[in-house]
Amino acid sequence: MPETFHFLLLPGFSALGCMSAIEPLRVANRFRPELYRWQLLSIDGAPVTASNGVALNADAAFGEVARTGMVFVIAGFEPLACYTRALGDWLRRQHHGGATLGAIDTGSFVLAEAGLFEAGHTLTLHWEALAAFRERYPRLTATQELFETGARRITCAGGTASIDMMLELIGRRHGADLAASISEQFVVGRIRAHSDRQRLEIAARYGVHNRKLIQVIGAMERHTETPLSSEALARDVGITRRQLERLFSAMLGDTPTRFYMNLRLDRARELLQQTDMTITAICVACGFESPSHFSRSYRMRFGASPRNDRHALR
């Protein structure tokens, strides 16, 4: 009997994450007919528009499905905009009925809001929403891995990582040979492990290879709420502040202070876009001394105030 997957699409969902989850099932059926079936669900049964503007027809509203064995929530920006008590109740009923619950891209917000992760549960979601998720659900452990599988919970970062996740699930059920054959159909050179990181390593992201510089950038990324001084950053890697400044100038064309400031402002913009945190709370979370200092710095980097940019981003 075919295994059925339900995909609940929320407005603004990631089309890439969605199709990357469905296509492996389709190709699996080419090699071994009737292994899988799938249905697309929406909030009300109407078509759902993805973040790229493409609308997909839904097979049913989520409330019309009394029971499912596997359901993935696929979201994008503002994953909780359509969250309702009815949706939370339905997801909890599926859980109590024995279903495996999954989330793709920012769908983990929906499962978390429904109380379907226990404290300490390890999950993942798109890296751009990690800071916002950790602020909202500090007791949950969100990683930067491609996907996480646990006891009836499967979470995925979205994008092409959905392919790797589905190949992992198919391989477990029907063998590594089938998963490899599907991978070849997509011209995928390697099936990535769940533990692979979502983002490029610092060296690749910034085009730098100096070990000390990479360590300093890593420390900056880990300390956005309580920024470290240039002296402390330099001392931690065994160089002077002047040497650190020369490294940044030679390899990044920037100063440590300005680079660090821009990194924190980028984090602030993620929080503005992904959360309902107040601007004052975001100011504190990103290590700024005062709201006025934050707003002034933000406007200089992005050309708009935090408040106006939040409205534009949404």
Asked if residue 256 lies in contact with residue 244, where contact means CB atoms within 8 angstroms, the answer is yes
For residues 215 and 225, what is the distance between their CA atoms, to the nearest angstrom? 18
Other CB atoms closer than 10 Å to residue 230's CB: what's the count?
19
Half-sphere exposure of 225 (CA within 13 A, CB side): 9
Other CB atoms closer than 10 Å to residue 311's CB: what's the count?
10
pLDDT confidence tier of residue 314, bands split at 50, 70 and 90: low
Phi, psi values for residue 40, rounded to 5°: -100, 130
Whether pLDDT at 109 is above 70: yes
Give the single-character DSSP code of 252. Answer: H
Whether pLDDT at 198 is above 90: no
SS3 21: helix
For residues 233 and 305, what is the distance between their CA atoms, to the nearest angstrom? 30
For residues 286 and 267, what is the distance between their CA atoms, to the nearest angstrom? 7
Q: Checking DSSP bridges between strand 100-105 and strand 141-143, what pairing results, if any? A: unpaired
Residue ranges matching CATH 1.10.10.60 in the chain: 202-313
Helix (H) or strand (E) holding 268: helix 256-274
Other CB atoms closer than 10 Å to residue 246's CB: what's the count?
12
pLDDT confidence tier of residue 271, bands split at 50, 70 and 90: confident
Q: Which of 141, 160, 18, 163 minimizes the C-alpha distance to 76?
A: 18
Phi, psi values for residue 123, rounded to 5°: -145, 175
pLDDT by residue (tens digit) across 244-263? 999 999 999 999 999 999 99
Q: Which fold has domain 202-313?
A: Arc Repressor Mutant, subunit A (1.10.10)
| Domain with residues 3-185, CATH architecture | 3-Layer(aba) Sandwich (3.40)
Residue ranges matching CATH 3.40.50.880 in the chain: 3-185
For residues 91 and 183, what is the distance between their CA atoms, to the nearest angstrom? 31
- What is the per-residue pLDDT for 303? 93
The pTM (predicted TM-score) of the whole model is: 0.78
pLDDT confidence tier of residue 1, bands split at 50, 70 and 90: confident
- What is the per-residue pLDDT for 313? 64
